[in-house]
Structure 1
Amino acid sequence: MDDVRQLFERHEYLAKASMAFCYAITVSVAMNFFWTPGHIYSSGYTGISQLIDTMSSRYLPFTIPTAIGLFLLNIPTFILAWKQIGHQFTVFTVIAVFLASFMIKTLQPVYLTKDPIICAIFGGVVNGFGTGLSLKNGISTGGLDILGIVIRRKTGRTIGNVNILFNVFIVIAAGLAYGWPYAFYSAIGLVVNAKVIDLTYTRQQLLQVMIVTERPKSVTDSVQNHLRRGITIIHGAEGAYNHAKKTVLFTVVSRYEMGEFEEAMNESDPDAFTTISPITKIIGRFWEPKVK
């Protein structure tokens, strides 16, 4: 049994390390193929690092490259993640940020296009996909991702929206550095980046599920066997068409869990009437798996 557990852990570690490398590739491609050629600022600490690079090259006798600034800025968030989120999470975050910094420095800019709109949109898509995929697999890209996770646990706001709020400063900086048209282009990239993160990182997207069924015991057991979710049961419902006695069940799942939920419903009561709607915020107890 111990050998199986160790094998599983090694596989998990290898998968996370591979995902950290994939993120490093995506952010370096976004930076060197799109953002740098288009004079577009990224989101979060990456954008702040770009700003430091720009300002230091203009006003200081030395330049602080984006790659180095990115890693240095993340050191305080590494400490926050270690204390507030999880040790394994922090270790792989350090790996992801280090690899990202290394790849940004190593991969030379390729000027596919200098069109700022194209650079803003495609840079946001590439980086947002890499960031969301990393979070989905239990690692962070540092910076605002860590702050977003901590803030979301306390307020319920999504990581994408938290990013947008923090990035107002970066938009203003883009305007001051390159002119106000580039501020608007950078804003487009930030919104695209945030939305792609939310589309990819589906663990944070919560859905309310209402089930009308004649087999409440079977449905409840099946859902709870597949998912660790509480269920509220309302007895005494009645169908208006044939006046059959029914039970209404309420629960909340993440979009990431929808596959397992649908499997549970197909096993227990495929004829149940089920509605699913998005949730913007939850107040009260709601279990979420902790990040290691």
Structure 2
Amino acid sequence: MDDVSKLMRRHTYVTKISTSFIYAILVSIAVNFFWTPGHIYSSGITGFAQLLTTISSRLMPFTISTGLGLFLLNIPLFLLSWRAIGHEFTIFTIITVFLSSFMIQLLKPIPLTHDPIICAIFGGAVNGFGTGLALRNGISTGGLDILGIVIRQRTGKSIGTINIAFNSLIIISAAIMYGWPYAFYSVLSLIVNARIMDMTYTRQQKMQVMIITNRPNTVIDSVQNHLRRGITIVHNAEGAYRHDAKTILFTVISRYEMGELEEALLESDPNAFASISDSVKILGRFYEPKP
């Protein structure tokens, strides 16, 4: 068992490092092929690094490159992550941010087009896919992700307000540097980035599941063997057509777990009826894997 465990752990490490490298390539393409030529700012720390590059090139005798700025701005967050989240998580975050900074530095801006709309859309799409892929494989891309995890662990609250305020500052800076049209193009890029990221990374999307079955114990065992989810049982339900006894099961899953739920139902009761809908808000305890 120890050999199997070591092999699985090694496979996980290789997957994470490979994903970090893929993310680094994608974010460098977004920055150097689209955002920089189109004068578009990203969100979060990457956008702040771009802003530092613009300010230093205009007002200082030397220019702080986006790649270097990205790594330097993340250093305080690395320290916070090391103390508050975990060493393994922090090490992979450092690897991801270092590779991203290196690739951004290595790939010089190539202006495929200067059309700001095209640059905003494709830059946001490429970066959103890379970020979603990284999150899907349990990798943090650094920046405000770390702050968000720490605040959520300690208070149970998200940093939505902080994110909005930080990104609003970047958008206003884009307006000051390049004019308000470019600020709105940056907003467009943020929207595309978020949309593509949500399509790629589905673990944070919650769904309410209602299962109607006449084999409740078998279904419950199968679902809980596949998923770490609590289930609420409603007894004494009745089918209106045949008036046979039914049991209703309620649970909440992430969209990421849809495949496992379907597999569990096929194994336990192929005739079960399941209704799945998006959940707007969850109050109370909902298990999420630790980073």
Tell me, yes or no, whether TM beats 0.5.
yes
Following superposition, the deviation at residue 81 of structure 1 comes to 2.1
| 1:183 equivalenced with 2:183 (yes/no) | yes
SS in 2 for 1:71: helix
Percentage of identical aligned residues: 67
Deviations 1:134-187 (A, max 9, x none): 11101111002223334555556598x975553111111111110000000000
Q: How many residues align?
A: 290
Q: Which amino acid aligns with 2:136?
A: K
Q: Moved runs in structure 1, 4+ residues, more than 6 A? A: none
Question: For 1:6-85, what aligned pairs fall within 5 Å after superposition?
Answer: 6-85=6-85
Q: Flag structure 2 segments of 5+ consecutive residues without an equivalent.
A: none
Following superposition, the deviation at residue 70 of structure 1 comes to 0.5
| 1:139 equivalenced with 2:139 (yes/no) | yes
Following superposition, the deviation at residue 3 of structure 1 comes to 2.1
SS in 1 for 2:234: strand
Q: Which amino acid aligns with 1:85?
A: I
> Following the alignment from structure 1 to structure 2, what is the Cα–Cα distance between the partners of residues 99 and 212?
49
Question: For 1:104-183, what aligned pairs fall within 5 Å after superposition?
Answer: 104-151=104-151, 154-155=155-156, 163-164=163-164, 166-183=166-183
> Following the alignment from structure 1 to structure 2, what is the Cα–Cα distance between the partners of residues 120 and 155?
33
8 Å Cα contact 1:32/1:107 also seen in 2? yes
Q: CA RMSD in A?
A: 1.8
Deviations 1:49-69 (A, max 9, x none): 000111111112222111111
Correspondence for 2:100? 100
Q: Which amino acid aligns with 1:265?
A: L
Q: Flag structure 1 segments of 5+ consecutive residues without an equivalent.
A: none
SS in 1 for 2:249: strand
> Following the alignment from structure 1 to structure 2, what is the Cα–Cα distance between the partners of residues 245 and 158?
46
Correspondence for 1:274? 274
> Following the alignment from structure 1 to structure 2, what is the Cα–Cα distance between the partners of residues 205 and 255?
6
8 Å Cα contact 1:40/1:174 also seen in 2? yes
Q: Residues 166 and 211 (structure 1 numbering): CA distance in 2 closer, same or farther, change over 3 Å?
A: farther
Q: Which amino acid aligns with 2:84?
A: Q
Following superposition, the deviation at residue 262 of structure 1 comes to 0.1
Deviations 1:12-65 (A, max 9, x none): 111111111111100100011000110000111000000011111111222211
Q: Residues 198 and 250 (structure 1 numbering): CA distance in 2 closer, same or farther, change over 3 Å?
A: same
> Following the alignment from structure 2 to structure 1, what is the Cα–Cα distance between the partners of residues 198 and 63?
34
Q: Residues 158 and 272 (structure 1 numbering): CA distance in 2 closer, same or farther, change over 3 Å?
A: farther
Q: Residues 72 and 37 (structure 1 numbering): CA distance in 2 closer, same or farther, change over 3 Å?
A: same
Deviations 1:62-110 (A, max 9, x none): 2211111100111121122223333211101100100111111111111
Question: For 1:192-271, what aligned pairs fall within 5 Å after superposition?
Answer: 192-271=192-271
